[in-house]
Amino acid sequence: MKSENIPAREIVNLLRQKDGIEVIELNVQIDHVHLVVWIPPKYAISSVMGYLKGKLAIRLFQRYERLGKRLWGRHLWSRGYCVSTNGINEEQIRQYVRWQEKKEKEIEKLQGNLFDEDRG
C-alpha cells in the first residue's frame, strides 16, 4: 500500500470532529504516521489516540478489504505512540516530521530510478 492511499485529509477530518484539536504537522508514510497535534486539556491524550487509531483502522479495513486479510487479528496500528507535553522542543519535533517526509520522497525517487533501470 503506497502512502498516498492513506489520505491525510481523513486523519485531519477525524480529528476535527473533536472540538479544539488542531493538526500542526502531518506526514503519512507507507508504514507509519508522524503527527504533531494540539490537544486541549479537556481530552485525555490516550482517548484521542485510541479514537484516531480505531476510527481510521475501521475506515481503512472497509476501503481496502485485503488489508484486513493480510493482518492477523486485524491489528493495524502498534500499541504505542510518542507524547511530549513539555521538555522536548516542539519546533525540533516539527522539523523531524518534515525531514521524514523529505527523506521518504528521496527514497521513493531513488527506488523508482533503480526499478526503471532494470526495465531497460
Query: Which tops the pLDDT comparison, 111 or 15?
Result: 15
CA distance 51 to 57: 10
Model confidence at 116, pLDDT cuts 50, 70, 90, reads low
Write down the pLDDT at residue 112.
66
Model confidence at 114, pLDDT cuts 50, 70, 90, reads low
Write down the pLDDT at residue 2.
43
Q: Identify the three-state secondary structure at position 94.
A: helix
Catalytic status, residue 51: no
Write down the pLDDT at residue 28.
83
CB 43 within 8 A of CB 21: yes
Instruction: From the candidates 43, 51, 81, 96, give the one annotated as an active-site residue.
Output: 96
Cell of 79: 500499541
Report all structural domains of the chain as residue ranges with CATH numbers, in order of start.
3-119 (3.30.70.1290)
Q: Mind listing the pLDDT tens digit for each residue in 38-77? A: 899 999 999 998 898 888 888 888 887 777 666 656 667 7
Helix, strand, coil percentages, rounded to 5, for the chain: 60, 10, 30
Quick one: which of 22, 44, 48, 24 has its CA closest to 34? 24
Write down the pLDDT at residue 89.
76
